[in-house]
Chains A and B, each alone.
Chain A
Amino acid sequence: MKILVPVKRVLDYNVKVRVKADGTGVDLSNLKMAMNPFDEIAVEEAVRLKEAGVATEVVAVSCGVAACQETLRAAMAIGADRGILVETDVELQPLAVAKLLKALCDKEAPQVVICGKQAIDDDANQTGQMLAALMGWPQATFASKVTLAGESTTVTREIDGGLETIELKLPAVVTTDLRLNEPRYATLPNIMKAKKKPLDTVKPDELGVDVAPRLATLKVAEPPKRSAGVRVADVAQLVDKLKNEAKVI
């Protein structure tokens, strides 16, 4: 069984961003990038399934600039077998990525695609769902437990009210939530080995996909600064303030 794992190169979650002075976006020049944390969880899950003898091959895919190769190498250091870079300098939106992934699914015929539930840069939470729709496959989003058996997969999902367990027929799309697993540390020997694993590069037009953005960003702004809090003397004063100043009750 082949598993395909899309991995996105995003700003490292420890690094603070700054909105550009002209409001056209955030300043990413020269900042440290890393693999989207939810995608690391997805790679880890796929590799565990391979180690358990359920899956036979784990293919990592990244769409974007040439530097996404580093993200693919990081996925291979966790244990993915090979990488595919869909290289483009165009700003990719979720629909474009979903179409690229569809083209690769048609070619690679994986049984499962494990995506992150969202990327921590745009927080769109769309790619996995769009891919499932384009493929006509079932989907299980926000997975906190995944079991694969034969023709189907059983997935426990994190939902507002608690946990939901569903069974899907394969092939299917699964998106990972935070509690699915804790990714391993990439060891130096594995990073060394990852450098030698195969990495193919294709261009969007070779896959017949038009990746031109469909949405235009009008403006990016920082959230308004929070004003300092006040200490209230007692509950009565709190209620009074909530009623009369904040007007929320």
Chain B
Amino acid sequence: MRESMEFDVLIVGGGPAGLAAAIRLKQLAQDKGTDVSVCLIEKGAEIGAHILSGAVMDPRALSELIPDWQEQGAPIKTAVTEDRVIFLSETGGRQIPNALLPDSFHNDGNYIVRLGNVAKWLGEQAEALGVEVYPGFAGAEVLFDEAGAVKGVATGDMGLTREGEPGPNYQPGMELHAKYTLFAEGCRGHLGKQLEAKYKLREGVDPQTYGIGIKELWEVPAERHVPGLVVHTAGWPMDSATYGGGFVYHLEDNLVSIGFVVGLNYTNPHLSPFEEMQRYKTHPEIRKYIEGGKRLAYGARAIAAGGLQSQPKLVFPGGALIGDDAGFLNAARIKGSHAAIKSGMLAAEAAFDALGAERSRDELAAFPEAFRTSWLHAELHKTRNFKPYMKKGLWMGSLLFGIDQNLFGGKVPWTLHNSADHTALKPAAECEKIAYPKPDGVLTFDRLSSVFLSNTNHEEEQPCHLQLKDAGVPISVNLAQHDAPEQRYCPAGVYEIVQEEAGPRLQINAQNCVHCKTCDIKDPTQNINWVVPQGGEGPIYQGM
């Protein structure tokens, strides 16, 4: 028997969206002199352990939530001092004059942060306000009431054997019930995906489109460090038909955040985002910042980049999707943290009003209404065509997006559409193989030594959290047609084809998983289903 507990509001996921919602609820209750019980669960071992971002943060939403964040000691210290956008060729680079850049590429007033640290700080603010914050617990199952409304979630069982039977240390999960449940799982939420299907939240909208971002944190020699410098690149090592780009953000304390994002609508199954990131660092325009430095950390995470036209319906009976779980991200600016915070606040306000009116487990229609009249909607509407333009290739896409933004200020009378990423892969035989250079152990590394720096761990004795709907498909389809692309797109080396006497077999090294969700997105027949492993496992990012 699972124990259960009741709350006014339950929040699943302790990223910027979930934490902002929790804080806003408690603030409103304080202002009105009422009490709201708020519980937040997070699958990472601590708040921030699963957060991986760039990140250049637009402080607009945070300033609305906690106006005196500076005095409160928020770890947001390095103001952007310079923006550089560079088109890379294989050996050189051409900087785009800032005057030609659309507004969305300007970062005046923004800050370079370690988003995991910001989340950790938000977690402390939430706890101080009385939110019950429980890291180490994953929402494993959505619970429904008799009327079909969401009534909460159950945390996962601990101590199951590989076969799913209770082992010697078995502990059943717990049911958390609430009047409203907010899902803030970030990009490609595993429960969010189920809710979208159950309540048909994607009806009439485009499929979501994604990128995979691979990121490293470097400590560099002082003379190479330019605090506040933001570098974005397009072009090499991507060919002009593949959407992708890199970033180098100079933080405080000689730290540099460097990353590469590949659009998951790439077509060549031989492409390996991990190795693109590795060779990216060898470009003269990039290596000049990190040479002589030391890599401190590594990780990867998918990004929901579809924009407004890919956003699902936000509410359903008993709850709402917020943050990247609902695709609130401005792909042209690769910024989602401010949108996550704002969406969390708007949902919290709607939930608070509903609780005040003694409502429960109905649709929070006030949330999408408030969103439509918010600055966030205006911002996302303006850049909605960015990702679809980019499907036309880098040069054409940039030109069209530039015209859209600079001549029309984003108010063009058309909206372009997205298609699902998993449908994009071509047969391997039709595509050119890519010869990636061997890692040098100095600037470039192999997968395993990289994963080591994510601090990821999973108990081996538990059911595999990467489920195959059909165990034959990895060989009969993925290997036969696409040369098993999961071997390359997984940034953690989880998927391996091993040759055995009986023939090739897919081996899943689930312990290495960094919870990026790429396999759940890109698997060509959607045969891989990512579910939560035991709570408290996965990467332990330290300020990524």
Contacts and interface: CB of A to CB of B under 8 A. Distances in A.
A230 interface: no
Interface in A1-26: 12, 14-16, 18, 21
Interface string B276-300: 0000000000000000000010000
B421 interface: no
Nearest to B254: A21
A182 B455 contact: no
B543 interface: yes
A32 interface: yes
B515 interface: no
A188 B137 contact: yes
B242 to A, nearest CB: 33
A185 B134 contact: no
Contact of A189 (B3, B120, B169, B542): B3
Interface of A is mostly: loop
A184 interface: yes
A15 B171 contact: no
User: Size band of the B side of the interface?
Assistant: 20 to 34
B501 to A, nearest CB: 26
Contacts of A32: 45-46, 49, 540, 542
A185 B171 contact: yes
B174 interface: yes
Interface string B25-63: 000000000000000000001100100000000000000
B169 A16 contact: no
Contact of A16 (B134, B137, B453): B453
A185 B542 contact: no
A32 B120 CA distance: 11
Nearest to A183: B169
B452 interface: yes
Contacts of A30: 117, 120, 542-543
Interface string A162-185: 000000000000000000001011
Contacts of B168: 182
A192 B174 CA distance: 12
Interface in B530-544: 534, 540, 542-543
A14 B171 contact: no
A20 B132 CA distance: 35
B457 interface: yes
Contacts of A244: none
Contact of A187 (B171, B453, B457): B171
B438 to A, nearest CB: 13
Contacts of B49: 32
A189 B117 CA distance: 28
Contacts, number: 52
A84 to B, nearest CB: 23
B306 interface: no
Contacts of B383: none
B455 A14 contact: yes
A148 interface: no
* Best-buried of A14, A186, A189, A191 by chain B (most CB within 10 Å): A14
Contacts of A34: 45
B310 interface: no
Contacts of B219: 21
Interface in B168-196: 168-169, 171, 173-174
B487 interface: no
Nearest to B174: A188
Nearest to B114: A30
A212 interface: no
Nearest to B158: A185
A21 B542 CA distance: 18
A184 B169 contact: yes
B159 A14 contact: no
A31 interface: yes
Contacts of A182: 168-169
A14 B457 CA distance: 7
Interface of B: 3, 5, 45-46, 49, 117, 120, 132, 134, 136-137, 155, 158-159, 168-169, 171, 173-174, 219, 296, 452-453, 455-457, 534, 540, 542-543
12 contacts: A12-B540, A14-B455, A14-B456, A15-B540, A21-B219, A30-B542, A30-B543, A32-B45, A182-B168, A184-B171, A185-B171, A191-B134
Closest 8 CB pairs of A and B: A185-B158, A188-B174, A14-B455, A185-B171, A14-B457, A187-B171, A189-B3, A15-B455
